[in-house]
Amino acid sequence: MTPVPTSGAPRLRLRAPAHHVDPRAVTWWRLQNALSWGAVLLAVGVVLVFWRPGWLVAVGIAVAVLAVADVVVTPPIRYARHRWETTGVAVYVREGVFVEDWRVAPLSRVQTVDTRRGPLQQWLGLSTVTVTTASTAGALKIRGLDRDAAVELVERLTAATEATPGDAT
Amino acid sequence: MTVTDAPPVTGWRRLDRRSIWVEAVRPAGGLLLAGAVAVTLRGWDRLGWIEPAIGAVVVLGILVLSAWAWATTTYRVTDTHVELRSGLLVRSARSVPRDRLRSVDLTVDVVHRVAGLAVVAIGTGRQGGESDDELKLESVSRAEAERLRSVLLLRDAAPAADAAPPEPRAPLAQFGASWVRLAPLSLAGLVAIGVLAAALGQFREAIDYAALWGSGPVRSGVAWAEGVPLPLLVLLALGGLVLLNTVLSTVLYVVSYGGFRLVRGDDRTLRLTYGLLTHRSVTIEEARIRGVRVDEPLLLRLGGGAKARIVAAGLGVQDGEGNGKRDSDLLLPAVPVALVHRVTADVLGAPSSPAAVPLRRHPAAALRVLLLQWVPVSLLPALGLAVPAALGVFPHWPWQLALVLVPAAAAGAALEFGNLGHALSGEFLVARGGSGVRRTAAVRRDGVIAWRLRRTVLQRRPRLLSVTAAVAAGRGTHTIAYADQDEVLAVAAEAVPGLLAPFLEPDPVDGSAAQA
């Protein structure tokens, strides 16, 4: 099943955005995954204390293997995939491990720029920047930026947005 | 619309005083009706004094709440803003700049008509939460509603220089007998039967089954059915359902859309009016229209019909399905497809409907991806039923029957693949998809406010890409699904010049694994 280039159309792809997020994001995602998988494992463990049929032990082991993989393997891949870039006219974000997702929004259509920091992110000194447009399909998220870099980015984007008249629809 | 020089409304106003009664009629009436049905089924002799007393207290309570809601709701229209203050316990105050208003939607149902009132919903185009995109006044007098409509959609700015001269007010579309022919091709009647059955199901505990079973008509019916061979019985039942659906769908269609008229106002608005029982009158500012969507459910398509919806911010429908509560984005109900094409071209100001242009098909690899999405899921019920059957605790025929879903899913995938397509047509980007319902969205290229591109691991090797054009309208997703990567990237880059192009690069033929 080798892909056949369609007649005349040059082969194109989306290039990787220029910047990575902060490397501490890997730790953040590891902790996040560890916490959510930990809750599942804890629940299975509690049941196993009282009731131990063979199939449930097998399920428990499978969940544990998945959990370890999701804590050890996925976050670095996610870090490698998640990249962002702003140019004079647009914001460009790529993310996703199993489902790849690229988003592009022109600065002239940006409505709000927010930052958000969960408890883990506060502890690690990270921020998530959300850029929204007038469509719910058009929100871009840059997850796991350094806190100060995020503040600087928000200021820059807000200034660029305010420079454009109109209601961005 | 002779209000060109009407002074702006100032000062806080209340809703019409009659709305206290009108707003209470529906909940109180529904309650009384439910009570009456329950009592009838249980027998009137078992009715004591306590039930009517509770009913009276509840009705009184509804009235008091309604009066309180009326007393606490005020609104005003200033030169720049529309403001609404309301709330029984939690006070809310909303203020919307007038230049953000997109549409004015008047609804007059039977109760409101008797009282001479109308509900006014003002589309604001906000994308925040569920209730954020409209400002609703229920209810004001009919005259006040008309006045609000004229005042609100009136801009002091003169129409743009390129505006067409005011056209004669011939309607763009008008309800006709040929429309009704298409009504039976909808399943609305079956849905209505289902809703009715569910409502009656509420009373199932009150039914005396023994008496029902013993009654004459039921007994003779059962006796007759026993004498008829089963296949014939099934055919008869199906035929009965089809007949019932035909009748009910037609009635619903005529009641909902009877008197449909679509006209273009000379203040650059579109106005739709329709409905025999509930009058609906929606006014949309043309400058806010970003495109149209043509929906063709399979049956309707085979019958040569289609429906159309407007893509514009602030039209009250939040789910992209358009089956939502408000329906203010309706452009045409099920009508002959030629009319849909004529009207959409007219509304969009295009020489011919962009929703009718030939589309570029998507590569055959998309069919494989679709089959992989549909077929495994369709196997699940059979698998789930086969396990207990294998253990001997459940008969075998259910899982065998559930296998019917597999060819059905394959057919669904094939149907969806057949519908996939996209095109650039003048000022419009056209995207088509959907399986049972073919949806063709044509949106203005300058209305695209962001791109979202996705692919799953399945799409990576065959170089397929799904591209969503985000538009400031409702859920605003117009997706070109499973398109050829090179082709769709080139189309997206061309559709909005300068936006996507800087982020594209040539893909070396041997570098399929070279992505960072």
- Are both B148 and B20 inside the same structural domain? yes
Q: Are residues B190 and B297 in the same domain?
A: yes
Q: What is the pTM of this model?
A: 0.80
Indicate if the pLDDT at residue B202 is higher than 50: yes
Mean local confidence (pLDDT), A118-136: 87
pLDDT over 60 (residue B328):
yes
Which are the contacts of A109, defined by CB distance < 8 A and separation ≥ 6? Answer: A133, A134, A138, A168, A169, B449, B450
Average pLDDT, chain A: 87
Task: Decide if B1 is inside a domain.
Answer: no
Tokens 């002239």 -> residue: A108
Is there a domain that residue A92 lies in?
no
Domain residues for the domain of B119 are 13-154
pLDDT of B318 reads 46
Chain B residues 103-132 with CB within 8 Å of chain A:
125, 127
Residue B174 lies in a domain: yes
| ipTM of model | 0.88
Residue B71 falls inside a structural domain: yes
Examine residue B368 and state whether it is found in any structural domain, yes or no: yes
Q: What is the CB neighbour count within 10 angstroms for residue B481?
A: 26
Q: What percent of chain A has pLDDT over 90?
A: 58
The lowest-confidence range among A30-44, B201-215, B299-313, B360-374 is B201-215
Do residues B311 and B414 both lie within one domain?
no
CA distances from B258 to B250, B282, B342 (A): 11, 15, 20
Q: Place B175 in a pLDDT band, splitting at 50, 70 and 90.
A: very high
Which residues neighbour B225 within 8 Å (Cβ) at sequence distance 6 or greater? B233
Number of domains in chain A: 2
- Helix (H) and strand (E) counts for chain B? 16, 21
Confidence of residue B392 (pLDDT cuts 50, 70, 90): confident
DSSP A146: E
**Looking at the domain assignment, is residue A168 inside a domain?**
no
Interface of B with A in 343-372 (CB under 8 A): 363, 365
Q: Which residues of B touch A14 (CB under 8 A)?
A: 453, 489, 503-505
Q: Are residues A142 and A109 in the same domain?
A: yes
Q: Is the same domain home to B328 and B411?
A: no
B119 and B224 both lie in a single domain? no
Chain A residues with CB inside 8 Å of B453's CB? 14, 101-104
CB B438 within 8 A of CB B432: yes
CA–CA dist B73, A133 (Å, integer): 32
CATH label of the domain that carries residue B70:
2.30.29
Closest chain B residue to A89, measured at CA: B499
Shared domain for B139 and B219, answered yes or no, is no
pLDDT at B319: 41
Whether residue A88 is contained in a domain is answered as no
State residue B326's pLDDT score. 61
Same structural domain, B22 and B105: yes
Interface test with A, best of B124, B499, B504, B510 (most A CBs within 10 A): B499
User: In whole angstroms, what is the distance from residue A5 CA to residue B397 CA?
Assistant: 48
Does residue B181 sit in the same domain as residue B255?
Answer: yes
Nearest to A31 by CA among A124, A96, A108: A124
pLDDT at B154 over 80: no
Residues B40 and B80 in one domain: yes
Nearest to B135 by CA among B72, B86, B67: B86
The pLDDT of residue B474 is above 70: no
- The encoded tokens of residue B377 equal 């899921």
Find which of A2, A114, A169 to mutate to test the B interface (most B CBs within 10 Å of its CB): A169
Facing residue for B468 by CB, picked from A92, A109, A137: A137
Assign B477 a pLDDT band (cuts: 50, 70, 90). low
Kindly tell me if the per-residue pLDDT of B153 is higher than 50.
yes
Nearest to B362 by CA among B489, B506, B460, B480: B480
- Does residue A131 form part of some domain? yes
Alpha carbons B230 and B63: distance in angstroms, whole number = 55
pLDDT-derived band at B492, boundaries 50, 70, 90? very high
Asked if B462 and A1 come within 8 Å (Cβ–Cβ), the reply is yes
Mean pLDDT of A149-164: 86
Within a domain: residue A149? yes
C-alpha–C-alpha distance, residues B72 and B87, integer Å? 6
Strand partners, B294: B308, B440
CB under 8 Å to B147, separation ≥6 — which residues?
Answer: B3, B6, B9
- pLDDT tens column, B239-281: 998 999 999 999 999 999 999 999 988 778 888 999 998 888 9
Q: Select the more confidently predicted residue: A79 or B269.
A: A79
Residue B7 lies in a domain: no
pLDDT in tens, B497-508: 889 999 999 988
Mean pLDDT of B296-323: 75
CA-based end-to-end distance of chain B: 61
pLDDT tens-digit series, residues B397-452: 888 888 899 999 999 999 999 999 999 998 999 999 998 899 999 999 988 888 99
How far is it, in rounded angstroms, from Cα B293 to Cα B291? Answer: 7
Quote the pLDDT of residue A26.
Answer: 96
CB of B285 closer than 8 Å to CB of B269: yes
Q: Is B513 on the interface with A (CB under 8 A)?
A: no
pLDDT score of B359: 93
Check pLDDT > 70 for residue A85: yes
Residue B161 belongs to some domain of the structure: no
* Residue A5 included in any domain: no
Do B108 and B228 share a domain, yes or no?
no
Quick one: tokens of B105? Answer: 């939607």
Within-domain flag for B514: no
Please tell me the least confidently modeled range out of B114-118, B155-159, B286-290, B488-492: B155-159
Q: What is the CA radius of gyration of chain B?
A: 27
pLDDT at A27: 95
Distance CA B90, CA B96 (A): 19
My answer on whether B184 and B306 are in the same domain is yes
Confidence grade of residue B110 (pLDDT, cut at 50, 70, 90): confident
What DSSP designation does B141 have? E
The span from the CA of B98 to the CA of B148, in Å, is 12
- Chain A positions with Cβ closer than 8 Å to B: 1, 3, 5-6, 9-17, 80, 85, 87, 89-90, 92, 96, 98-106, 109, 133-138, 140, 167-169
CA B80 to chain centre: 31
Give the integer Cα–Cα distance in Å for B482 and B389: 38
- Which secondary-structure segment (H or E) carries B230? helix B230-257
- Cβ contacts of B151 within 8 Å, gap of 6 or more: B3, B6, B8, B9, B77
Q: Which of B450, B500, B512 sits opposite A138 (nearest CB)?
A: B450
| Residue A112 and residue A63 share a domain | no
Q: Return the amino acid letter for B53.
A: A
Q: State mean pLDDT over B477-491.
A: 89
Q: Return the HEC string of B181-214.
A: CCHHHCCHHHHHHHHHHHHHHCCHHHCCHHHHHH
Distance from CA of A162 to the nearest CA of B (A): 16
Contact A103 B498 (CB under 8 A): no
pLDDT computed for residue A132 by the predictor: 84
Mean pLDDT calculated for residue range A36-43: 93
Chain A residues near residue B364 by CB distance under 8 angstroms? none
Residue B314: predicted pLDDT: 62
Domain hosting A69: range is 22-82
As a whole number of angstroms, the distance between CA A126 and CA A102 comes to: 22
Instruction: Say which DSSP state B227 is in.
Output: T
The partner residue sitting opposite B470, judged by closest CB among A15, A90, A138, is A138
Tell me if A15 is assigned to some domain: no
The mean pLDDT value for A20-25 works out to 94
Higher pLDDT, B390 or B347: B347
Residues A113 and A67 in one domain: no
How many domains does chain B fold into? 3
Q: What is the pLDDT of residue B162?
A: 46
Residues B394 and B381 grouped into a single domain: yes
Instruction: Say if A64 falls within a structural domain.
Output: yes
pLDDT score of A84: 95
Same domain, A112 and A77: no
- What pLDDT, in 10s, does the model give residues B14-46? 888 888 888 888 888 888 888 887 777 777 777
Q: Would you say residue B109 lies in a domain?
A: yes
What residue of A is the nearest CA neighbor of B483? Answer: A6
